[in-house]
Structure 1
Amino acid sequence: MPEPLPADVDSWTLQEGISMTILQNPLRTRIIVTGKGEKFYVPPHWHAAHDENHVVIKGRLIVTQDGVRRVLGPENGVCLTRRGVVHSLEGFPGEELILEETATEPEDTEQKIFFFRNMGAPGMLSSPLGIMQVLYYGDTYPKFPTGFRWLERGLIVVVGGWIASLFGYQLPDKRLRLDPSRFPRDKKD
């Protein structure tokens, strides 16, 4: 099982050529891509309970939101992704990129940091059950070709919420918590 990152670690490597830093005032995450190593890519996914802001500080970023693909640079300012919108992020091979991410609510930004701390824990990215557990607690659902939200949610709940725990997986940083608003009874997909 992955080892936790110390709570006071403000920067860590996600993979070769890609690191993450926590910045204060305002609280936000900064992803730094050197252009060496693998290309930066976050596959299509969506969030049920929070909106996100992305700002390109340096370089170019491909953002796809509900099938609409755009190339963003520093001149574009904030790119807002509303909850429920399927989105992906992609850098350009061999290019430097500095990207900042926040949620629209400060407490959601804090939870995003705990999400990234868990994903960045040593060994986590090579552990499918561990990844699914972090997705479950982190309000993140993969996009499937079928587009059935109930199936996307169900996979994360069953595998990340139940099966990973049965196999003894625990979040390295337990400050990431499940938000009860993610499964509202009055909302339909």
Structure 2
Amino acid sequence: MGDPLRDDSWSIGKGLTMSVLQNPLRTHLHATGEEAFLAPRHWHMIHGEKHVVIKGRVRVTQDNVSRIITPEDGEVFTPAGVVHSLEGFLGEELILEETTVPDELQKIIFFRNMFAPGVLQSFPTIMQVFYYGDGYPEFPIHIKWLEWLMVVVVGGWISPLLGYQIPDKRLRLDPNRFPRSKKDA
């Protein structure tokens, strides 16, 4: 179902679909329960995220505190800098929407890059998507500056030197993080 670089809806796993919705601009995840949805532990330096469960339930963990969120709970906000993860439940349908504060368009381009064909099979490209998309995976020994350094060194320096490129280069044109240069024009 769909190509994330061209379409507004695409598959991200068995029974997992991500879509772009408008008014307001947001991402929409639909999990049939065939495969449990998982967004592993990570954090963002610059942006926060708002999640709303439309149907089903999801386990949201923020700084090692977990809770189950349902539609009745309303919006859940994760501020920048907070390590978080989201987990659906096997066999249960989940519809989850996410908006990003301050810039939803960059987050949508992040997802388009992350789920483009071949990206999840390429560690250097994943690190580039994290680098340009303000994402930092949590390591078993959680030291934020070390996680940041890994993403910057591998995603920002080594990967480009080895010829790796993110599929949708609009992600690196976020003016808040990467001022445009002549080569970006």
State whether TM-score is above 0.5: yes
CA–CA separation in structure 2 for the residues paired with 1:49 and 1:170: 22
Q: Is the 8 A contact 1:48 1:182 kept in 2?
A: no
Alignment correspondent of 2:150: 155
The match for 1:34 among 32, 35, 40 is 32
Q: Is the 8 A contact 1:63 1:87 kept in 2?
A: yes
CA–CA separation in structure 1 for the residues paired with 2:66 and 2:87: 10
CA–CA separation in structure 2 for the residues paired with 1:144 and 1:178: 27
Alignment correspondent of 2:131: 136
Q: 1:180 to 1:148 in 2, by over 3 A?
A: farther
The match for 2:12 among 14, 17, 24 is 14
Q: Is the 8 A contact 1:49 1:181 kept in 2?
A: no
The CA RMSD measured in Å over matched residues stands at 1.7
Alignment correspondent of 1:170: 165
CA–CA separation in structure 2 for the residues paired with 1:144 and 1:181: 26
Unaligned runs of 5+ in 1: 184-189
The match for 1:43 among 15, 40, 43 is 40
Structure 1 runs (4+) greater than 3 angstroms displaced: 4-7, 178-183
CA–CA separation in structure 1 for the residues paired with 2:5 and 2:141: 39
Alignment correspondent of 1:80: 77
CA–CA separation in structure 2 for the residues paired with 1:75 and 1:24: 23
Q: Is the 8 A contact 2:5 2:116 kept in 1?
A: no
Alignment correspondent of 1:25: 23
TM-score using structure 1 length: 0.88
Whether 2:119 is the aligned partner of 1:124: answer yes
Q: 1:168 to 1:137 in 2, by over 3 A?
A: same
Give me the identity figure in percent: 61
CA–CA separation in structure 2 for the residues paired with 1:86 and 1:6: 28
What is the DSSP-based 3-state SS (H/G/I as helix, E as strand, rest coil) of the residue aligned with 1:157? helix
TM-score using structure 2 length: 0.90
Q: Is the 8 A contact 1:138 1:178 kept in 2?
A: no
What is the DSSP-based 3-state SS (H/G/I as helix, E as strand, rest coil) of the residue aligned with 1:12? strand
Q: Deviations over 1:18-46 (max 9, x none)?
A: 1100000000000110111x311111110
What is the DSSP-based 3-state SS (H/G/I as helix, E as strand, rest coil) of the residue aligned with 1:100? strand
